[in-house]
Amino acid sequence: MAEFDKLFNELQKQSNIDKNVLLKMIEEKKKRVGAGYLTDMGALFLVASDLGITLDHLMTSDLTLKNLYIGANEITVLSRVFSIYPIQNYIKKEGTQGYYRKIILFDKDDFIKAILWDEKANLIESLNINPNTVLRIIKGYVKSDLNGRPVLHLSSRGSIEVVNDQDLIKNLPSIEEVTKDVSKIKSPKPFLSVRGSIKTEPKLSQFTKKDGSQGSVIQFYINDIDSDQAVRVAIWDNESKALENLQIGFIVRLINVRAKMLSYGEIELHGDAGTSFEIISKKIIHKTSPMTFRLLSIGPAQEKILSALLIDSMGRFYTLLAKNGAYNKLLSIKPDSLITCYPKEIIDSKIVCDDEKSIITKTLDDPIFPKIQSLLLKIKDTKNVDHPVFIEAIALSHASIKDVTTKDGSIIKKAEIIIGDETGERKMVAWRDLSILLEGISPGEKLRISAIMPQMLGNNELIFILRPYSSIEKITI
């Protein structure tokens, strides 16, 4: 905070305002204007502006994105390119036409929008800048957008350098390193790179916008690797030629999409003109040698398929889909048993078995495979967990079961119940056929709840979501 202290002392000297009063003014500015995005430094600049005081401030060292503050001027930023948008036109105050281009930058801490004005927009092509390129933006300035978030701007006074220094480059994560599997997206987020398998044929639709211009949207579903469910993707007004090559079964990376939480708790991915696509490979399906796991949980039957959660000796989770003969065999096996699978196919962390002989129970136990008891957590310890959890809790309410209309007009069931232990209380939610798991539960009953997913909602409320491999057992106290 050396820079803040230096400027604060300067502002106090010029304004002759008491230190505590000035600090209070900065805090009030953050609450009133910042909307959660304004830093102490940014608020200090705005307070100085309100007082009619100009603070001369020049940053010559490279800033990280988390250190950008609204009101910063003449700054140098080192970051990597996440996404590049097409050039757009605008009308200047004097009536002439100008143009600009938006790009998204990221580093190990944050993402931010940057606007390149007029001739600076052409630097993308002239410097051969692409997603993953490391840049140094020189003499930029930071303003707030309509939502109070900081946006980096570069106009005629500034410049861009492509960074080739490997020591600097290796300290910035690549797009590949920040890419997440679709199954890991649990809450709304603005800047994402996600990986998944195309499940449905991409469909392109044209429409007329309110201003009379033409718009387009391409829609498809990508597999949620953990549960064999799918996530809807909608990409708006994107002219990328890569869209034409998307086919069912391809493993793809979608760069610069945002996750949107629907009213019934599911996630959709939305992209725009700045979304790009990479085809990683065709669907990865391969035969494997036998694999041994501990069986942790078996979910309810759904369309003649049983889903189960497995864990290997390294503590990695897998989803087992049992069909045909494997379906009946799995029903005869108790959780906590060790099993050996002879999969028909493996797709990432999803294992498919369809023959009775493809699942064999092991008679001798092996303590190297984690047992259910060792995986039990208290509710307070599930906040930052991104894998299935196991808890013992008391039902605090009856299940509320109702019909919900989805965006496409279909009607699905949603069940909710409140559970708690000595460390806290949480809502547990089941969708569609999984609502059967919450039926018949009464307040006061002790439950062992296996393989549920913590999910953070947009209002920072943590809930538990039942998955196809989840199970609930009533415990006699």
244-271 residue pLDDT tens: 777 777 888 999 999 998 766 778 999 9
- pTM here is 0.54
341, 353 contact by CB (below 8 A): yes
Residue extents of the structural domains in the chain = 2-169, 179-282, 291-361, 376-475
By mean pLDDT, which of 189-193, 286-290, 314-318 is the weakest? Answer: 286-290
> Residue 101, Cβ neighbours under 10 Å: how many?
21
C-alpha span between 192 and 274 (Å, rounded): 12
Fold classification of 179-282 is OB fold (Dihydrolipoamide Acetyltransferase, E2P) (2.40.50)
Task: Please provide the CATH number assigned to the domain covering 376-475.
Answer: 2.40.50.140
Q: What's the CATH code, domain 291-361?
A: 2.40.50.140
**Spatial distance between the Cα atoms of 329 and 339, rounded to a whole number of angstroms:** 11
**Hey, what long-range contacts does 156-160 have (CB within 8 A, 24 or more apart)?**
156/117, 156/118, 156/119, 156/120, 158/120, 160/116, 160/120, 160/123, 160/127, 160/129, 160/135, 160/136
Closest CA to 437 of 463, 399, 406, 411: 399
Using DSSP's 3-state secondary structure scheme, residue 263 falls into coil
Pure H helices in 52-147: 123-126
- The amino acid sitting at 365 is D
Strands 424-431 and 462-475: parallel
Q: Return the number of other C-beta atoms located less than 10 Å from residue 298's C-beta.
A: 23
* CATH superfamily entry for domain 2-169: Nucleic acid-binding proteins (2.40.50.140)
Structure tokens at 112: 């931010």
DSSP 8-state code for residue 411: E
What does the block give as tokens for 90?
């605008």
Cα of first residue to Cα of last residue in the chain, in angstroms, is 55
Three-class SS state of 382: helix
Cα-only R_g, the chain = 27
The confidence band for 228, taking pLDDT boundaries of 50, 70 and 90, is: low
Other C-beta atoms lying within 10 Å of the C-beta of residue 214: 9
Q: What is the pLDDT of residue 47?
A: 84
Instruction: Please tell me whether residue 163 adopts helix, strand or coil conformation.
Output: coil
State mean pLDDT over 213-240.
Answer: 81
Q: Residue 231: what residue type?
A: V
Which tokens go with 410?
């279909």
Q: Quick one: 458 exposed, middle or buried, by C-beta within 10 A (0-12, 13-18, 19+)?
A: exposed
Length of the chain: 477
Rounded to the nearest integer, the mean pLDDT of the chain is 85
CA distance 349 to 352: 10
Confidence of residue 286 (pLDDT cuts 50, 70, 90): very low
Q: Compute CA 68 distance to the chain's CA centroid, rounded to the nearest angstrom.
A: 23
Which residue bears the tokens 């909710």? 416
Q: What angle do CA 100, 72, 156 make, to 5 degrees?
A: 35
- Residue pair 339/264 in contact (Cβ under 8 Å)? The answer is no
The whole-number average pLDDT for the span 49-67 is: 68
- For 272, half-sphere exposure in the C-beta direction (CA atoms, 13 angstrom radius) is 12
Give the dihedral sign, CA 30/36/40/43. negative
pLDDT digit string (tens) for 410-429?
Answer: 788 889 999 988 888 899 99
Q: What angle do CA 301, 461, 179 make, to 5 degrees?
A: 70
Query: Tens of pLDDT along 30-43?
Result: 777 655 555 677 67
Q: Among 6, 194, 170, which residue's Cα sits nearest to residue 78?
A: 170
